[in-house]
Amino acid sequence: MKNKMLFQWMAALTLLVSGALWATNGVDLSQSPEVSGTKLGTVHMPKQQGRMALNYVNQPPMIPHSVDGYQVSKNTNRCLACHGVQSYRTTGAPRVSPTHFMDSDGKVLADVAPRRYFCLQCHVPQTDAAPIVENTFTPSKGFGN
């Protein structure tokens, strides 16, 4: 019961924060495959592209395709239609990591753990956008391009 309430609270908070971020950034996702926003300008969201190299240990892989129109709710997760344990073999998509089936106590679950169910919390679509804020980040040794 406690886990279910925590999951519902986290889901509601995620939706609230996501909505607030989209509203404050002026991003209109309905314009995909191009995203228009006052700060972003116009950004091309490719339908398919090669996977980008990771920049640090345990970095969540980026999504090499558009996710426009993907539904992820407590009842359905469009990502799992291709990346799920039962479907990845027929779709050719990478399988969901086994770590996504562990709860916070390390117990292995039969389904994706609630804390890992909302894929777009960690995995983001790749894009050719210029950085909004200049930074001096460099990949860890042995990582990146």
At residue 53, does pLDDT exceed 60?
yes
Q: What are phi and psi of 43, to 5 degrees?
A: -125, 130
Output the pLDDT for position 31.
43
Q: What is the DSSP letter of 56?
A: S
Q: Cβ of 27: how many Cβ atoms within 10 Å?
A: 17
SS3 at position 63: strand
* 57 alpha-carbon distance from chain centroid: 17
Structural domains of the chain sorted by starting position, each given as residue range(s) with its CATH number in brackets: 2-121 (1.10.1130.10)
Output the pLDDT for position 107.
94
Q: What is the DSSP letter of 109?
A: -
Output the pLDDT for position 74.
85
Q: Where does the pLDDT of residue 20 fall: very low under 50, low under 70, confident under 90, or very high at 90 and above?
A: very low
Tens-digit pLDDT profile for residues 69-118 = 888 888 888 999 999 988 889 998 889 999 999 999 999 999 999 899 99
